[in-house]
Each structure stands twice: as structure tokens, then as C-alpha cells.
Amino acid sequence: MSGSVEVRQFLLRYEGADGGSTSLSGGVPVQRGPAEGQRVSDDQVRRARLAVANGALGVEDCTQLLDMLGLSPGEDGQAPVQR
């Protein structure tokens, strides 16, 4: 499926060459403390982008979905879901 290769290349532009590093504790989400509030972490955004890319039909579809979900980086480089 050539679409998945295009989507991965598209995501590399947002994630950087390393693809983002993960620091998961066995894949189990950790409960947030009161100081963290309801913030969306960089890792959560990265995983959401990968999930969207996995279900996207192509680059255009992926771009539209990321924009609709607030996962595309804004002018400041931060995704709207993290503001």
C-alpha cells in the first residue's frame, strides 16, 4: 500500500528524523497528577498522529484529519490540542 509510505513520510516532517522517542511504562497510561491538569503530552499527540496516519487513505486524507482533530502544528509549532 503506497499510501502508508506517503503518510509516514508526511509525518516525518512533523516528527523529525527520529520519529519521536517514547518513554512508555509498558504501554500502560499513567494517571495524571493535579499539577499536570488535563494537558495533552507530546507523546499523546505523537501517538494520535500515528493512529490517524494508520487509518488515513493518503496524504491529503491524513492532512485533513490531523487539521480537524487539532493535531497539526500551528504557527508556534505546537498542536492546538496542547494549548
So where are the chain's domains? Answer: 1-16+39-72
DSSP letters for 15-49: H-TT------STTPPPPPPTTTTTPPPHHHHHHHH
pLDDT at position 21 is: 46
pLDDT of residue 40 exceeding 80 = yes
Mean confidence (pLDDT) of the chain: 77
Residues 42-74 have pLDDT tens digits of: 999 999 999 999 999 999 999 999 999 999 988
User: pTM of the prediction?
Assistant: 0.56
